[in-house]
Amino acid sequence: MDIIGIARSIKPLDSGAQNRARTRQDSLTKPRGSLGRLEDLSIQLAGIYRTDAPKIRRKVIFTIAADHGVCAEGVSAYPSEVTAQMVLNFASGGAAINVLGKHVGAEIVAVDMGVASNLAWPSSIASMKVRKGTMNMAKGPAMTRLEAEEAIGNGIELVRKAVADGANLIGTGDMGIGNTTSATALTAVFTGRTVADVTGRGTGLDDEGLQKKIKVIEEVIRLHRPDPAKPLDVLQRVGGLEIAGMAGVIIGAASQSVPVILDGFISSSSALIAAGLAPESKSYMIASHRSVECGHRAILEYLGLEPILDLRMRLGEGTGAALAMNLVEASCKILNEMATFDSAGVSKTMEGE
């Protein structure tokens, strides 16, 4: 798959559609700007969909799972076996993302991009395994260049099929024990912040565990000396297969003129890769929420994204993306279904109230 060609095919948002949507927003029966982010979202969506009457048809969240070899360094409070166990939980509908997906009317597609397991998955799990977990990035590159490209390509393909089936709102989610270590390394590399500034407790490390995690990530970065100007190389050295897959989902969505809602820290770390490979893809991203993970705040600031929600969440799986979907859809309905001052016979003096 020509990943670079697809990345370069992403078009800027349609400014004409955005201007028309903004004009309509200003004519609706409310004080101008009084619905805040809902107005901004509707205008962004108008530019993405290239119409001043954007509508949500079908919502899909990809929850992509993979394991991390760096867990051998003791950076997680949970064993790697939990990744496979959670994939089975997704399949049985028992996870938080299943509940929230049902609540907002979104289809949840759980994907094995690199789970270190020989389990035979139920048919509801999309099997796109590149390898059984990354290699230990504390000893060498996390994956090969070809594996990184394959995982990104798999993410692009997931979106292509979903859009062909009518999806026009995509969310990203993750599952992978140890993935906050990779996400933190990516965050430090791209934002230029110190590892200590962007390292959180992940699955619940104590103070001693946190300091060990910081030390491991610092050593990883010293070993690889990743260059942020070469995003694919950074991904290969310190990334994760689920992170690569989500980067592909973002690039794939943007190339199809479809908005993509980012979940939390891990999901947003994949946006660093996507933005590096396809700078125009940033215009198609919507940040669902602000995680309590300190690294997430650094990523949002770096990408210039304003989160919709702040619920002190840090679960992942796509849970934040799910919760934001109804608000994104609400922004479209406000734009399309509210009366204008003229149609409702309301005095325009209300505009300045």
Count CB neighbours of 101 within 10 A: 28
Tell me which residue of 27, 136, 119 sits closest to 74, measured CA to CA.
136
Q: Quick check: 269 and 180 in contact, CB under 8 A?
A: no
3-state secondary structure (DSSP) of residue 65: strand
Amino acid at position 124, single letter = S
Tell me which residue of 295, 289, 273 sits closest to 192, measured CA to CA.
295
Q: Quick check: 335 and 53 in contact, CB under 8 A?
A: yes
Taken in order 200, 141, 230, 262, is the CA torsion positive or negative?
negative
Round to whole Å and give the CA distance between 234 and 236.
5
Q: Quick check: 243 and 114 in contact, CB under 8 A?
A: no
Amino acid at position 75, single letter = V
Taken in order 76, 80, 81, 87, is the CA torsion positive or negative?
positive
Count CB neighbours of 298 within 10 A: 21
* From 317, 329, 351, 353, the catalytic residue: 317
Q: Catalytic site residue 317?
A: yes
Residue 96 sits at the vertex; the CA angle it makes with 117 and 161, to the nearest 5 degrees, is 65
**Any idea which residues carry the catalytic annotation?**
317
